[in-house]
């Protein structure tokens, strides 16, 4: 791909048929590649993917490496990467178009508003891969496994749906374990503080983002948690 600056990426992103955007958090609505508002809540399968395959979200997806990797491995599922940074999403969205991956979409939005855009039980699974751990205690509600966000996820995650966290942060890992233990509606499925020290629990864990590669070269251990939030 030719190198593009941020403004070029934003301009191109608005024309991609696999990208949706929520431009104004104060007046949230979804805009598609025709620059027109569209109602997608509860209708992602019918209006975009044109099938009833399970929908999997990657939150704070960055450049979409995990979203793309899972979509390539599981063509029988639909995948959507969400992030607030359009210049990051551009890379994943353009790669999906080049590879003709019809089971991939991207959505630029603030994760805090996620429940506005997905209907009850519309999502089968959530992946949270190397999010900002927000280490300051005053920002703990911004952690994507905080009680605040679990409440949001319950609005659209299937009752049997899974939440997966992959992180290098021991603080976020321990915080997530504590949050699950304190929430009677949460069920722990699996957790491991060093996933590469034993056979992988799920094949998706073999996928590595650019930043995970950096973490591994620095000698950090990669942690994983899987749970339900009925």
Alpha-carbon distance of 143 to 201, in angstroms, equals 24
24 part of the active site: no
For residues 230 and 162, give the distance between their C-alpha atoms in angstroms, rounded to a whole number.
10
Terminal alpha carbon distance of the chain: 43
Q: What are phi and psi of 102, to 5 degrees?
A: -75, -10
Q: Which two tokens stand for residue 40?
A: 């997608």
Say which residue the tokens 């039980």 belong to: 121
User: Which residue(s) pair with 190 in the sheet?
Assistant: 226
Strands (E) across 22-88 are located at: 30-31, 37-38, 55-59, 78-83
Tokens of 79: 């995948």
Single out the catalytic residue among 52, 132, 168, 183: 132
**H or E segment to which residue 123 belongs:** strand 123-129
Q: Which residues are catalytic?
A: 132
């Amino acid at each position: 791909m030719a190198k593009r600056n941020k403004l070029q990426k934003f301009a191109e992103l608005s024309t991609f048929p696999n990208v949706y955007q929520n431009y104004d958090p104060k007046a949230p609505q979804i805009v598609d590649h025709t620059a027109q508002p569209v109602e997608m809540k509860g209708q992602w399968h019918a209006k975009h993917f044109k099938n009833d395959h399970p929908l999997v979200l990657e939150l704070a997806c960055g450049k979409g490496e995990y979203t793309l990797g899972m979509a390539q491995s599981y063509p029988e599922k639909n995948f959507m990467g969400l992030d607030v940074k359009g210049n990051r999403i551009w890379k994943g969205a353009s790669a999906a178009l080049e590879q003709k991956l019809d089971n991939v979409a991207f959505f630029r939005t603030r994760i805090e508003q996620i429940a506005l855009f997905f209907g009850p039980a519309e999502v089968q699974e959530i992946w949270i891969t190397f999010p900002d751990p927000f280490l300051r205690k005053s920002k703990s509600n911004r952690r994507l496994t905080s009680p605040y966000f679990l409440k949001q996820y319950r609005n659209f995650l299937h009752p049997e749906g899974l939440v997966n966290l992959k992180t290098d942060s021991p603080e976020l890992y321990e915080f997530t374990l504590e949050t699950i233990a304190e929430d009677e509606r949460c069920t722990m499925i699996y957790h491991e503080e060093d996933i590469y020290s034993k056979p992988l629990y799920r094949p998706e864990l073999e996928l590595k983002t650019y930043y995970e590669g950096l973490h591994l070269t620095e000698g950090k251990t990669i942690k994983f948690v899987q749970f339900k939030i009925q």
